[in-house]
Homo-oligomer: A and B are copies of this chain.
């Protein structure tokens, strides 16, 4: 009889997906058969902190991981604004998993109170790879392409993403117009 696959859960906002995420996922893939990647704050887009839609982020991730050994599920998770039910919400949107990977103490706490097995992967060169750093570089016309897998560069170019990020950032600053 076939055993159930060992399944891991990993969550991020992926604004955008970068080599820090990729490094952690390659590490996780060594210890399990299947990985569920939750795309957090899925309903957000078109702001400076969250420029890309869930669909765009799913595309970035799927293409960057196409050679990974583990089977990958990429699943958008909309915010539910009630922390006490957030873990149940995640569980309803995903296949059952055995272990949750996260370095965020807040997410660790929520999973632990729900009695989940939580592991904190070592952050992959966090001083170099960070979504907010990459977004700042885009805003200031500094190089960012070397911080993300090649398919991410392609997706962002295709959707005119850097221009979008700059425009919505400008709107944020003068929001009293609206």
Interface residues of A (CB under 8 A from B): 11-13, 40-47, 53-56, 58-59, 62, 71, 73-76, 78, 80-85, 87-89, 91-96, 102-110, 113, 130-132, 164, 167-168, 170-172, 174-178
Contact = CB atoms under 8 A, between A and B. Distances in A.
Nearest to A60: B95
Nearest to A49: B176
Nearest to A166: B105
Number of copies: 6
B178 A40 contact: yes
Contacts of A110: 46
A178 B176 CA distance: 27
Given A73-B62, A95-B58, A170 B82 contact: no
A93 to B, nearest CB: 5
Nearest to A112: B167
A152 to B, nearest CB: 13
